[in-house]
Chains A and B, each alone.
Chain A
Amino acid sequence: MFLTADRVSYTYKRRAGVESVKALCDVSVSIPRGSLTGLIGPNGCGKTTLLKLLSGVLSPDSGSVTLDGRALATLSKRQVARRIAVVPQETHPAFEYTVLEMALMGRHPHLGPFQLEGPADLAIAVESLSATGTAQLADRSYMSLSGGEKQRVIIASALTQSPEVLLLDEPTASLDLGYQLEIGALLRRLNKERSATMVMATHDLNLAASLCDTLVLMRQGRVLADGRTPDVLTSATVKQLYDVEADVRVHELAGHLTVVPLGRLG
């Protein structure tokens, strides 16, 4: 296994007026190299927390995360960032960075403290922008872009990190149907052509069913089931996850599983 979490637990500490929240409890996942794994479950089930543990942004209270046999805790933040990149749901910079500047920030873990990006770094950023179809936007202000363009630029910035693993947190959540399909196709292409290992948290079961080889189903901070998508995505698991009656079957035209919600259970 390439990226694994071994019995990790995490609790958000008590803050002013907010009680402690146990976000993850004894969670174990194994992500094979080159796979595209979906992380699904209801709001607050711990998907985002698990992604933050897998990317080393948070450290588990107990248990460990390993990448290629090495515990993340033994690597520096910079070393981790050279191998694992994160695509968040939305990114709101405080200043009007250009698209190229946003992409070049992905080179940060590869540069020394006083080192500026050289031609090689620029070439990697331009290639990443091209791969996500955003090179023609290079000089535009990131904030002036549409939602779909922004998300493609953020994916380009993550690719500019030259990572082995891409962790995506609901990358299509704020996008319309057209952009959702576009980002989906982009991820599938990056996964197949570049054998990138990807873990994607999503609420969109149909997107997950169409893209992911394997799924991890989470509920209340624990793993409910994991395995190959056709094995674990059933009307029974959808009912367990969301208390929703759903029709789950292979769509003839789409060629993959589709989930049609029929109603919420009392």
Chain B
Amino acid sequence: MITLDTTETDESHLPHRTVAMSIRGRLVSSLIGFGAIAVLTCLLAPLVGTTPISLRRVFDPSIPFDQNVDAQIFFVARLPRVLAGALVGSALASAGVVFQAMLRNPLATPFTLGVSAGASLGAMLVIIFGGTLALGPFSTVPAASLAGAAAAAAVVYWLATRQGRAISTSVLLLAGVTLNSLLSAVIMFVQYLADFAQVYRAARWIMGDLDIGGYDTLIASLPLVVAAFALFALLPSSLNLLSVGKDAAASRGVDVPRAQRLAFFSASLATSAAVSLAGPIGFIGIVVPHLVRLLVGVDHRIVLPASALFGAAFLVACDLLARTALSPVEIPVGIVTAMIGGPFFLWLLVRRS
């Protein structure tokens, strides 16, 4: 055992702030801070809209629900949409964090590896050729996009593991980027074959939309997101070491192939669930993790949960803007996130170089 001789330490040089603010303290304060932002956003967002409603009337027990218009607007029209925003924002932001660490690439997004292109193709096929297909309790478009996402993830995973047990992250990246453009071409071809009304619906889906129309779709995606988050919980300390390097992780006791598989599957699962629910809403997966890192540092044990909470707040806020900015017209939320996210992303790029 290499025991350390403390006689020559120079602890006096160590900034006291570092010692005082332990990882535990930083984690707790980040969770409280970002948790409060997320809860407040989700509570306030349903109150704002074309028709003003009052929170007091919404929760007034003396008015029966079928006569309480405010409560109906709150619970039936707006809350499902806000909760969908929270779920999707949280899943995409967390998946972004996981992919960035696993691929050792701060510019990776949940869509880098082709999952969203697979989901889009699945959705396109049903929108354009599906007609009146029905799949029991599940809506066909989300189910088809989920299947497309799973197929895309399976293909890149198969390609990246052909040469051994461990995932080759370089093959994963190249295969994902190639699959993205290949599937985009197929999507365009499918759209080329369709009529105007179908193409409009398809284009509208790709812009991303949180208006899911009720709680059913939300409840159907919930188990997938919950499973993904349960797997995320196992990851953070391995993600720190994986982002330092594969060998560094292995020599500190991380089972690298297992950690990579877990990261890939959990992040793909979260992305698939999010995209099948609301379409490929871009930039959440890169803007939110980078914003969070600017605020709380880069330790994944803090960044991952903080991004999950802030992602929820960010997408709900963007959707609020989308609903109200040009009221009564609604802008697709994907446009709002990209308009905020795009310039921010470019700024990050310039700042990095």
Contact = CB atoms under 8 A, between A and B. Distances in A.
Classify chain A's interface size: 35 or more
Interface string A93-124: 11111101110111011010110111100101
Interface string B209-247: 000000000000000000000000110010011011101
A136 interface: yes
A135 B5 contact: no
B23 A116 contact: yes
Nearest to A164: B1
A94 B106 contact: yes
Interface residues of B, number: 48
A13 B164 contact: yes
B65 to A, nearest CB: 42
A56 B244 CA distance: 18
Given A80-B253, A92-B245, A131 B5 contact: yes
B105 A130 contact: no
B261 interface: no
Interface stretch (B12-20, B117-125, B148-156, B182-190): B12-20
Nearest to B289: A95
A97 B14 contact: no
Given A94-B105, A105-B240, A108-B252, A126 B1 contact: no
Interface stretch (B77-85, B263-271, B293-301, B307-315): B293-301
Interface string A66-79: 00000000001111
A136 B252 CA distance: 24
A233 interface: no
Contact of A98 (B3, B245, B297): B297
Contacts of B298: 95-97, 101
Interface in B153-192: 163-164
A204 to B, nearest CB: 21
A159 B252 CA distance: 11
Interface in B101-115: 101, 104-106
B2 A136 contact: no
B2 A190 contact: yes
Interface in A152-194: 159, 161-164, 166, 190, 193-194
Contacts of A36: none
Contacts of A209: none
Contact of A109 (B240, B253, B299): B253
A238 interface: no
B210 to A, nearest CB: 30
Most buried by B among A15, A85, A94: A94
A88 B24 contact: no
Contacts of A91: 244-245, 248
Interface in A118-145: 118-119, 122, 124, 126-131, 133, 135-136, 138-139
Nearest to A113: B234
Contacts of A166: 2
Given A127-B4, A166-B2, A101 B299 contact: yes
A260 interface: no
A36 to B, nearest CB: 13
Contacts of B15: 138-139
A119 B241 contact: no
B353 interface: no
Most buried by A among B104, B237, B247, B251: B251
Q: Which 8 residue pairs of A and B lie closest in terms of their CB atoms, listed nearest first?
A: A81-B253, A109-B253, A130-B9, A136-B13, A86-B251, A78-B253, A95-B298, A94-B104
Given A98-B297, A138-B14, A166-B2, 5 more contacts: A84-B251, A98-B18, A116-B23, A162-B1, A194-B2
10 contacts: A93-B244, A94-B106, A96-B298, A98-B18, A117-B22, A135-B11, A136-B13, A138-B14, A138-B15, A162-B2
Interface of A: 13, 15-16, 52, 55, 57, 76-82, 84-86, 88, 91-98, 100-102, 104-106, 108-109, 111, 113-114, 116-119, 122, 124, 126-131, 133, 135-136, 138-139, 159, 161-164, 166, 190, 193-196
